[in-house]
Structure 1
Amino acid sequence: MIQLKKIVLFLVVSFSIGLNAQNTFKNWPDIIRKNESSWFGSEEAKKIAENVLLYQRNIGGWPKNIQMQHELTPAQKKDLTALKNTAVEATTDNGATCQEMLFMSKMYAQVKDERYKESFLKGINYLLEAQYANGGWPQFYPLKKGYYTHITYNDDSMVNILSVMRQISEESDFYSIKPSKEVVKKCKKAFEKGIDCILKTQYKQNGVLTAWCAQHDEVTLLPANARAFELASLSGYESAKIVLLLMSIEKPSRDIVTAVKSAEAWFEKTKITNLEEKRVLNGEGKIIDKKMIPATNAGPIWARFMDLETNEPFFCDRDGIKKKSIDQIGSERRNGYSWYSDAPKEVLKKYSAWAIKNGTKVSSADKKNVTLITVAQDGSGDFTKIQDAVYACPAFPYEKVTISIKNGIYNEKVRIPEWNTNVVLQGESKEKTIITFDDNFSKINLGRNSTFYTYTVLVEGDDFSASNLTIKNASGDNGQGIALSIVSNRAKVSNCNILGNQDTLYLSGKEAKQYFVNCYIEGTTDFVFGSATALFENCEIYSIKNSYVTAASTPEGIQFGFVFKNCKLTAEASVNAVYLGRPWRVYAKTVFLNCELGKHIKPEGWENWSKPEAEKKTFYAEYNCTGEGFQPSKRVSWSHQLKKAEAEKYTLDNILKDEFSNWYSK
């Protein structure tokens, strides 16, 4: 009896093992990902592996949409053998190649057949060879004419490849096959280039980073069309996996953090919560119709295709004509394509924890009203870096958000983006709270416009203010190097030191108005320049060498340009030949009222920058100034000495007032 029980038990266990060794999945991707590891040692798996080896082209890639578990006829095997040298249809689309490599890895873990290892390694070489120099991957390689050459995010193609590159470069245990150190190094470089490509292709909408398109031109990196019904657009689906990949990177760079934060803001902005998809099925469970029905507080979904400029969802038939709703296209495309997705939900779900971990959000930021963030280098505040505090600021807040900065030297570039309005940078003391960086034109080396990338602090958000700070470009007298760049409206800077050499302070914006009070500004050439309307009151303007103080580029028709009131112009002892200004653009306007001008100011005062027409179009003027440098009778003939009635229009209200009234007095 005991022996009989042992036999029965043995049969039961054997039967259970047999069941576990049987593949129960019908679809090829499911067979790879869902089977237990032990199944890959079964005879069934070995038989399928022969098919997978046969489908692989000698170049290393596989074709897509093949159910490789299906038994092949002798004729099919013969045809596949003939195709191996052709590289026909080798691709990474729809998971191809990446998933077959995973299959080979799982096979090799159970069965040490060297053919499996060789197949996997050929797959790696294929992916490495297929990568563009800019870091992207085409849909097909060797290149296939048409949209297939575009950098392809569609159906997660590039994300899948980068996941392979990452596992290999990190030498993780995800794959059972271990490539050589040389290959590992190549994969690491390929991953880094791929991430760089992702960052460069993130779409800017009116200057604001948003998300990605399903495909981007392989040369220009701009959004590109694919099939007739797949027009260039922002993608709710493909962008989600890209962001999740970026969020998975340990110690992300500043650019990665910006990319993720910008994409998350875009997902929040574009989510749809008033529609639900209703599917009509036939008796066999096949979709015969799709409808979008109104709903209240529905779970968020995102359109697969959104207009590049407006974010409005659109839909296309094979005629390529945009339609505003899914019911306006024919049943074939309506039912045979995924037009909506909830994939970005995973990004929104994980974002808060990611943001706190990576220093982009204060732990209390789940509160809707963040109005005070503290930066301290000793770790006693919310952050140790100013830029991280900026990342934590809510977009377009209703109230001022004060970033209180404790004393310290903060060696960093700080950018306050357009969506971070109402930001206040408040230092503990002007002398000891110092933001400094050392970029200059030659160091940046980004072409003819390199100057504008050299900033230490860049302000793009409206209604900005700063106080009790030193902002410095520490590159020295080595060409253009901006300390503070303000390209926004209604910016107020008080009790600050702004230090640099050439191009210290850049103020821009045709309609922008900016206010500096009780500040110290120093530089060499054109160290106050730009197109904004800016008022300087009770400021010291210090010249380090003989050159030009201002270089205004006031647009035509603007009433005021740069206005200096009750300011003091001083200089180093050796300086003795400084112009008040020269016109960067011919309609430049610069006026000094009630200012004390040191002896370093040249008697002629102004220079035309080799632009004779500027003598007729600029407006350079002074009123009631004092000091050895004030020599009105020796000024160039095309400048002006204002009369009292003319000077009276240069009031605080007249210069700075706009629809927001007296913003400058707050």
Structure 2
Amino acid sequence: MSAATTGSIDMSTAILIRVEQSGKGDFKKIQDAIDSVPSNNSELVFIWVKPGTYSREKIVVPADKPFITLSGTQPSDTIITWNDGGNIMESPTLTVLASDFVGRYLTIQNTFGSAGKAVALRVSGDRAAFYGCRILSYQDTLLDDTGSHYYSNCYIEGATDFICGNAASLFERCHLHSISTNNGSITAQHRNLASENTGLVFLGCKITGAGTTFLGRPWGAYSRVLYAFTYMSGVIAPAGWDDWADPSKHSTVFYAEYKCYGPGADRSKRVGWSQSLSNDDAAPLLTKDMIGGSSWLRPAPTSFKRGSTIIKPGSKL
């Protein structure tokens, strides 16, 4: 975020838009609420999605509509769902193309099943953050496509490459759940060049599952993934990492673990081309600085406005 952009945005107050299927809100559909935001928006917009299952629309946040927050109250009762597969760019239930997006307390799912690629959430905008969301599918659940992203306390479920893409992302205190019955993969990070400052860091996370899974496999030759302070259940295959049948990538990938624990964290049978990091090597990767977060992660707004009326905390929304 540039200094000029930061200076023009009041981070404490957001325009409130309510979505409620009963018709008591401003809109019945989430996409209609997003469409109501002006192009090249320069104010925080908080779209409050009331409880319900929103299943009749694919949702896109266009690139020219930054600074939108899409928020439920808790993911168990605010569910955005679709059923499409085949193309990772076209199948997502929710696609975020805009910068400075925030998603909060939502379930985002694709119920296409195990027949092929089916993305629940595609994040292709820069500076996107997700808090307390549930992201569910089978293959390619989260297309963490491009940009700098932050995921906090999210639950992410899938079987095959279910966190994939070429963003620079930090996952903090997230729960990763594999539903693969045999030899799935949690990540397929797509870094293609050594010069790209992209990769996935999982910090203080938890991995559970139903069968066996690898920590990752290289979609790109310079794929980069780190798990740190992460609980690994026995679901993790002893080898830990898969080379996608391409041994040439052994010398170019960066696959590492740091102070992980649990039955799946035993490194005695790990592939030799993965590493256990030293304190010094791990330190720069274990803060929000690796995604530049100190300059763009923002707290939730403290007041809202509808038209010219300011709604203070504690007021009835």
- TM-score of the pair, normalised by structure 2: 0.87
| 1:255-404 equivalences in 2 (<5 Å) | 371-404=15-48
- Which residue of 160, 174, 186 corresponds with 1:549? 186
2:214, 2:16 → 1: CA distance? 43
Alignment of 1:89-488 (within 5 A): 371-411=15-55, 412-441=57-86, 450-488=87-125
Pick from 276, 291, 309: which aligns with 1:641? 276
| CA root-mean-square deviation | 1.4
1:370 and 1:393 in contact (8 A); partners too: no
How far does the alpha carbon of each residue in 1:266-308 deviate from its partner, in whole angstroms, 9 at most, with x for none? xxxxxxxxxxxxxxxxxxxxxxxxxxxxxxxxxxxxxxxxxxx
The higher-RCO structure (CA 8 Å, 6+ apart) is: 2
Aligned residues: 283
Structure 1 position 524, deviation (Å) = 0.8
**SS at the partner of 2:263?**
coil
Residue 232 of structure 2 aligns with which residue?
597
Counterpart amino acid of 1:535? L
Q: CA deviation at 1:371?
A: 1.6
Partner of 1:507: 144
| Residue-by-residue CA offset, 1:526-560 (whole Å, 9 max, x unaligned) | 00000001110000000001311000002421344
Look up the equivalent residue of 1:562 and give its one-letter code: L
Distance (Å, rounded) in 2 between the aligned partners of 1:460 and 1:375: 21
Would the alpha carbon gap of residues 396 and 370 (structure 1) be closer, same or farther in structure 2, given more than 3 Å must change? farther
Once residues 286 and 241 of structure 2 are traced to their aligned partners in structure 1, the CA distance between those partners, rounded to angstroms, is 24
**Structure 2 unaligned regions, length at least 5:** 1-12, 300-317
- Larger-gyration structure (1/2): 1
Correspondence list, 1:521-560, <5 A: 521-545=156-180, 546=182, 547-556=184-193, 557-560=195-198
Residue identity opposite 2:234 in structure 1? K
- Partner Cα separation in structure 1 for residue 234 and residue 94 of structure 2: 32
**Could you tell me which amino acid in structure 1 is paired with residue 209 of structure 2?**
A
Q: Does structure 1 conserve the Cα–Cα contact (< 8 Å) formed by 2:110 and 2:120?
A: yes
**Deviation of 1:370 (Å):** 8.1
Q: Is the 8 A contact 1:410 1:436 kept in 2?
A: yes
- What does residue 520 of structure 1 align with? 155
Distance (whole Å) between structure 2 residues aligned to residue 522 and residue 506 of structure 1 = 13
| Per-residue deviation, 1:508 | 1.4
Q: Is the 8 A contact 1:656 1:664 kept in 2?
A: no
Q: Which residue is 1:651 aligned to?
A: 286
Letter aligned with residue 489 of structure 1: D
| In structure 2, C-alpha distance between the alignment counterparts of 1:518 and 1:451, rounded to whole Å | 24
User: More strand per residue: 1 or 2?
Assistant: 2
Amino acid aligned to 1:405: V
Other structure's SS at 2:208 match: strand
Post-superposition shift, 1:372? Answer: 1.5
Cα distance 1:665–1:419, how it changes in 2: closer, same or farther (>3 A)?
closer
Separation (CA, whole Å) in 2 of partners of 1:636 and 1:386: 46
> Which is helix-richer, 1 or 2?
1
What letter is aligned with 2:53?
I
Distance 1:554 1:380, change over 3 A: same
Structure 1 match to 2:6: none
Q: Helix, strand or coil for the counterpart of 1:390? A: helix
For residue 250 of structure 2, give the secondary structure of its aligned residue in structure 1.
Answer: helix
Letter in 1 for 2:205: C
Of 585, 592, 595, 2:220 maps to 585
SS at match of 1:664: coil
Q: What TM-score results when the alignment is normalised by the length of structure 1? A: 0.42
CA contact (8 A) 1:586 1:611 kept: no
